[in-house]
Copies of this chain bind each other. A is one copy, B any other.
Amino acid sequence: MLLLSNHHRHRSSLLPLLRLLHHRHRSNQHFSTLSHPPLRPLDVPLSQPTYMIWSSNTSLGKTLVSTGLSSSFLLSASSSSTSLSLFPSKKFLYLKPIQTGFPSDSDSRFLFNKLSSLSLRRQARPSLSLSDSVIYSSVSAAKSVLSDKLQAQAKEFGSGMYNLNIREVNENSGGGEAVSELVCKTLFAWEEAVSPHLAAERESGVVGDSEVLEMLDKCLREGLKSDRERMEVLCVVETAGGVASPGPSGSLQCDLYRRVIVCRDSNSNFVIIMFSEEVRPFRFPGILIGDGRLGGISGTISAYESLKLRGYDVVAVVFEDHGLVNEVPLMSYLRNRVPVLVLPPIPQDSSNDLMEWFDASHNVFNSLKDIMLSAHSKRIQRLHDMAKRAGEVFWWPFTQHGLVPEETVTIIDSRCGENFSVYKGQDIESITQQFDACASWWTQGPDAALQVTLSQMTSFVIEILWFQTELARDMGYTAARFGHVMFPENVYEPALECAELLLDGVGKGWASRAYFSDNGSTAIEIALKMAFRKFSCDHGILLDFLNNNTAERVIKLKVLALKGSYHGDTLGAMEAQAPSSYTGFLQQPWYTGRGLFLDPPRVFMCNSKWDLSLPEWLHAKIVKLQDMIIHAAGGMHMIDPLFQRILVNECRNRKIPVIFDEVFTGFWRLGAETAADMLGCVPDIACFGKLLTGGVIPLAVTLATDAVFDSFVGDSKLKALLHGHSYSAHAMGCAAAAKSIKWFKDPQTNVNIISEQKLLRELWDLELVQQISSHPAIRRMVTLGTVCALELQAEGCNAGYGSLYASSLLRKLREDGVYMRPLGHVIYLMCGPCTSPELCRQLLIKLHRGLEDFNRVEEKVRAC
C-alpha cells in the first residue's frame, strides 16, 4: 500500500541562523525583540539502544545486516530474563538518513520487504506491523515516484528538496493483533547512484548537515517513544557508502554524524561560511561492516581507525565470508576486545530471495543483536555508576568534597567543540549538551568556525575545517612518530616549529628564546629564576656573590606585583602573590609573600557605564579606557592599562626585569594575541599556557629576551638555568601548540580575526552587556575579548572566594545548557577565539534570564 501525503517545499528551519561572514557582525536587534530565541539544548535519548551501521566500503551488505538484526530482534523469542512473555512487545526502528539511486534503490524498502517475507516464513512469531516511508527527495527522484499531476505541481516549486512523504504499510504479518513494529524511514533521497555529495549537486538538492541531523533527531525522538509500556526498542541508523564517504553537503559522514556544522543559504544558492550555532552530539556507538574480500583486511582496519580518530566506539565488526579467513588478522588487530562476526557468503544471483541465507545467518545475527543490547546496558550502567565512583576515588582540585553531593557531579560523556555532552540519569536517561562557559579552566579554544569555499573545479565544494578532528589526527600522528623524546641539546620538528611560531608571534619584537615547561605555575617559577639572575647581573649582586660567596643569605630579592593577582599554586608562584585565600596557613604554611604588592586601579562596567576605581594610595587622573588587562583567578579584575604601562616603564628605568604573566591572557583570550599588544609595551620575560595548545594538552612556555638568556651563558654548567620537567617540550604538546597558534590567527580558519590579524571582532553584544550591567543583582561587569565576567551584589559571607552564593544561579544555567563555575560571588562566561558573536549573544540572553530568576529568589529570601 502506498500512501502519499502532502508535499511542500522544504523550508530550512536554519535559514534565520545563516549569516554572511568576513563581515563584522553586530546585532542591532533589541533584547526584547529577538528574531529567534536562544536554542534549547537538545537531548539524545539513551533509554533505548541506538547504533550507527558503518561500513568500510560501499556494497558490503550494511542493509543485509540491518535486516538480519531486525529479524533477530523482532522474530526471535526473547532471551531477556526480564521479559514477562516469550514474545514481548518490540519495535525496530531503521533510519536511512541518506539514500542515492532512489527510487530503484531503497534500503528501507528492501528491509521492509525482506522482513515482511521473513515474518511470513517464520510463522510462529507474533503479529507485526511494518512501515516504510521516504520523507524528502530531490526533484528528479520525486518525479519518478509521483503521479503526473503531482509532478506538474512539483515543477512549480523549482529546484531543491521535496517533502515527498510517501509511506507504505503492511499490517497483516503474522495475523492477530500486532504487538511488534518495524518502522523504516529514508530521510533524504536522490536519484543518481553516485556519492551523495555528487547526486545532491547534480540534482540541485543540496541538504546541509544540520538539516540531516535535525531530521534524524526528529525521527529518533518519534521513533524511540515506545507506544506501549515495557516495549523494547532497537534502533539502527544506516550510513551511506564508507565511513568517510561524503554526505550531501560534502562533509564526511564520520564527521557529519558527530555534529551540525554547515548549512546552505538557499536564497543565494551559495554555500557560505557559517558558525555552528547548534551542536548535537550524535556520538552513537556503531557496528562496522567489514570487507571479507582480498584487500578487505586493510580497508576494514583503516575504516575502524577513522572511526576511532573521531571518538566513536565500535562494538562489533561483521563481514561476509569470502573464504579468505580475514577474521583471523582482524581479531588479532582488535586483540579480541571487539568481537568479529562472519556471515555466510551472500548468493550472487539477483533472483535469489535470500530467505535461505537469512536462515543460515540467523545465529550470527542473534549474536550480533545480543552484543549490541549487552553493550548498551553496560554503557548505561557505567554512566549511571560514574558519579558515585568518582566521589569515592577522586580528590578534585579547588573542591570542598563535603559540599559535593553525588547528584551534582557532572558526568561528561564527550566534548564536541565548545560543548560538553553530559549524561542525565534523572527522569529520562539521555545525553544533553552544555556549553563549556568556563572554557574548562580557561584552556579551550575549540573550533566553532568553519569555512566553505567555492571551488574552481565544480560548482561548489565545502571545505570543512574542524579543529578538534584535525587536532586529534595530529595527536595520533605525533604520538606515533615521536611519542615523547628528550629535549635538552636535541631538536625535533614539533618543538622547533612551535618555538619559531612563538617567537614570531606572541614574542615578536622582543623575545628570542623559548623555555618550555608543563603549566602556568612552572612557567612562572622559571620566569622568576630568570628575573632573579638578570637582576643580580644588572645590579652587581652576582659578581659580589661569585667573588666572596656571601651574598646568598644577605640579599633578599622581592617581586613587585599587584594585589589580587594569582600566578599559580606552586610555592614560588605563590610567593609572588599578595596574601589571599590561596596562600594562608591553611593552604601552605611556608608562604610568606615575598613581594611588594601594589593595589592597582581597576576598570569595570556598572549600570551600563564604564567606571574606574582608584586605590587610596593612588591619586591619579582618570585614564582613557582603551585597553585593559585582566586579573583572572583573583576575581576577574580589569586593571587600568595606563597604570601598568607606567609601572613597566618605571621598572625598566630601574633595571628591574619585567615579567608578563600571560598564562590566562595569551592567545586571544582578551581579543588580541597577547596582552602586550594591548598594553603597548613589551616585557623581558613572559609566560604562556592554557590556550597555547588549543586546549587539548598541558604545555607552557616562558619566553625571554637575549639579554635575559645571556645572563645564564658561560663556561660552567652550574651557571645554566637548572630547571626542567620530565616532559619539557614534549612533542605532542608542541605539535598541538603549533597547530593552534596558526589556526587562531589565520582569518581562513578563524573568521573572528579582523584588522590584519591583530584583533578579534567584538564578541559580546554591547546592548545586552549594558542591560546586564544595570541588573540589580550585579555589582560590576567586565567584558573583553572572549571574557564576560560579573560580580554579584553580595554582602558578608555571601562575598569572597569561599562563597557559595552563586550556586543556585549556576544550577539554573546548567539546566539551560550553560556550564559555568564561580570564583566565589564572581561568575563569568568564556568562549573561544573562534566563537561566533551570535552564540555569545545567546549566552548573554540565558545569563540575563538566569539573573532574573536568581533575583526573584533572592528577593524572597531577603523578604523573609
User: In this assembly, does A440 line the interface, its C-beta being within 8 Å of a C-beta of chain B?
Assistant: yes
B483 and A724 contact, CB distance less than 8 A:
no
Which residues 748-793 of A sit at the B interface, judged by CB distance below 8 A?
Answer: none
> With A484-B696, A587-B529, A726-B443 in contact, is A479–B475 under 8 Å at CB?
yes
A479 and B472 contact, CB distance less than 8 A:
yes
Provide the bound-state CA to CA distance between A575 and B555, in Å.
18
Provide the bound-state CA to CA distance between A246 and B704, in Å.
51
- Among A303, A552, A571, A821, chain B packs the most CB atoms within 10 A around the CB of A571
Q: Which residues of B contact A725 (CB under 8 A)?
A: 397, 518-521, 568-569, 698
Q: Mark A70-81, 1 if CB is under 8 A from B, else 0.
A: 000000000000
- Among A302, A462, A477, A551, chain B packs the most CB atoms within 10 A around the CB of A302
Interface 9-mer from A135-143, A210-218, A382-390, A846-854: A382-390
A408 and B489 contact, CB distance less than 8 A:
yes
Q: Which residues of B contact A551 (CB under 8 A)?
A: 585
Q: How many copies does the complex hold?
A: 2
Q: Mark A543-584, 1 if CB is under 8 A from B, else 0.
A: 001000001100101000000000011111101000001101
User: In this assembly, does A333 line the interface, its C-beta being within 8 Å of a C-beta of chain B?
Assistant: yes
A569 and B722 contact, CB distance less than 8 A:
yes
User: In this assembly, does A720 line the interface, its C-beta being within 8 Å of a C-beta of chain B?
Assistant: yes
B244 and A332 contact, CB distance less than 8 A:
no
User: In this assembly, does A732 line the interface, its C-beta being within 8 Å of a C-beta of chain B?
Assistant: yes
Q: Which residue of B lies closest to A396 (CB)?
A: B488
A696 and B483 contact, CB distance less than 8 A:
yes
Q: Which residues of B contact A594 (CB under 8 A)?
A: 590
- Among A457, A462, A569, A712, chain B packs the most CB atoms within 10 A around the CB of A569
User: In this assembly, does A204 line the interface, its C-beta being within 8 Å of a C-beta of chain B?
Assistant: no
User: In this assembly, does A16 line the interface, its C-beta being within 8 Å of a C-beta of chain B?
Assistant: no
Residue of B324, B486, B714, B728 touching A402 (CB-CB under 8 A): B714
Which residues 690-730 of A sit at the B interface, judged by CB distance below 8 A?
Answer: 690, 695-698, 704, 709, 712-730
Residue of B58, B244, B720 touching A400 (CB-CB under 8 A): B720
- Among A299, A403, A438, A487, chain B packs the most CB atoms within 10 A around the CB of A299
Residue of B458, B500, B521, B569 touching A325 (CB-CB under 8 A): B458
- Closest Cβ of chain B to A60, distance in Å, is 9
Provide the bound-state CA to CA distance between A436 and B484, in Å.
11
Q: Which residue of B lies closest to A727 (CB)?
A: B698
User: In this assembly, does A455 line the interface, its C-beta being within 8 Å of a C-beta of chain B?
Assistant: yes
Q: Which residue of B lies closest to A404 (CB)?
A: B489
Provide the bound-state CA to CA distance between A372 and B712, in Å.
44
A570 and B412 contact, CB distance less than 8 A:
no
Q: Which residues of B contact A478 (CB under 8 A)?
A: 311
B303 and A298 contact, CB distance less than 8 A:
yes
B491 and A410 contact, CB distance less than 8 A:
yes
Which residues 482-524 of A sit at the B interface, judged by CB distance below 8 A?
Answer: 482-493, 495-496, 499-500, 503, 512-516, 518-522
Residue of B295, B392, B488, B663 touching A399 (CB-CB under 8 A): B488
A394 and B499 contact, CB distance less than 8 A:
yes
A718 and B412 contact, CB distance less than 8 A:
no
Provide the bound-state CA to CA distance between A283 and B480, in Å.
11
Q: Mark A408-437, 1 if CB is under 8 A from B, else 0.
A: 111111110000100000000000000010
Provide the bound-state CA to CA distance between A404 and B489, in Å.
7
Q: Which residues of B contact A864 (CB under 8 A)?
A: none
B484 and A444 contact, CB distance less than 8 A:
yes
Interface 9-mer from A149-157, A463-471, A835-843: A463-471
Q: Which residues of B contact A569 (CB under 8 A)?
A: 522, 525, 722-725
Residue of B242, B398, B471, B586 touching A483 (CB-CB under 8 A): B471
A698 and B730 contact, CB distance less than 8 A:
yes
- Among A58, A698, A716, chain B packs the most CB atoms within 10 A around the CB of A698
B525 and A298 contact, CB distance less than 8 A:
no
Q: Which residues of B contact A695 (CB under 8 A)?
A: 483-484
Q: Which residue of B lies closest to A300 (CB)?
A: B244
Q: Which residues of B contact A301 (CB under 8 A)?
A: 244, 252, 306
User: In this assembly, does A67 line the interface, its C-beta being within 8 Å of a C-beta of chain B?
Assistant: no
B241 and A295 contact, CB distance less than 8 A:
yes
Interface 9-mer from A113-121, A165-173, A194-202, A646-654: A194-202
- Closest Cβ of chain B to A795, distance in Å, is 18
User: In this assembly, does A294 line the interface, its C-beta being within 8 Å of a C-beta of chain B?
Assistant: yes
Q: Which residue of B lies closest to A713 (CB)?
A: B402
Q: Which residues of B contact A245 (CB under 8 A)?
A: 295, 297-298
Residue of B410, B481, B573 touching A283 (CB-CB under 8 A): B481
Q: Which residues of B contact A588 (CB under 8 A)?
A: 528-529, 532, 572
Q: Mark A183-221, 1 if CB is under 8 A from B, else 0.
A: 000000000011101100000000000000000000000
A726 and B404 contact, CB distance less than 8 A:
no
B476 and A473 contact, CB distance less than 8 A:
yes
User: In this assembly, does A345 line the interface, its C-beta being within 8 Å of a C-beta of chain B?
Assistant: no
- Closest Cβ of chain B to A461, distance in Å, is 5
Q: Which residues of B contact A480 (CB under 8 A)?
A: 308-311, 468-469, 472
User: In this assembly, does A329 line the interface, its C-beta being within 8 Å of a C-beta of chain B?
Assistant: yes
- Closest Cβ of chain B to A569, distance in Å, is 4
> With A719-B586, A727-B519, A727-B698 in contact, is A394–B476 under 8 Å at CB?
no
Provide the bound-state CA to CA distance between A299 and B290, in Å.
12
User: In this assembly, does A533 line the interface, its C-beta being within 8 Å of a C-beta of chain B?
Assistant: yes
B462 and A393 contact, CB distance less than 8 A:
no
Provide the bound-state CA to CA distance between A295 and B465, in Å.
22
Residue of B438, B476, B521, B729 touching A309 (CB-CB under 8 A): B476
> With A443-B484, A698-B726 in contact, is A395–B295 under 8 Å at CB?
no
A252 and B400 contact, CB distance less than 8 A:
no
Provide the bound-state CA to CA distance between A588 and B401, in Å.
36
> With A302-B303, A513-B395, A724-B398 in contact, is A409–B335 under 8 Å at CB?
no
Q: Which residues of B contact A131 (CB under 8 A)?
A: none
A468 and B479 contact, CB distance less than 8 A:
yes
- Among A194, A335, A387, A399, chain B packs the most CB atoms within 10 A around the CB of A399
B727 and A697 contact, CB distance less than 8 A:
yes
Q: Can you give 13 A-B contacts (C-beta < 8 A)?
A: A198-B324, A250-B329, A302-B305, A395-B514, A397-B724, A400-B716, A412-B485, A412-B491, A441-B728, A471-B479, A486-B821, A521-B522, A717-B801
Taking A444-B484, A525-B571, A555-B585 as given, write out 5 further A-B residue pairs in contact, using a Cβ cutoff of 8 Å, ordered by the A residue number: A242-B299, A402-B715, A518-B725, A522-B569, A542-B586
> Which 3 residue pairs of A and B lie closest in terms of their CB atoms, listed nearest first?
A242-B298, A476-B476, A397-B724
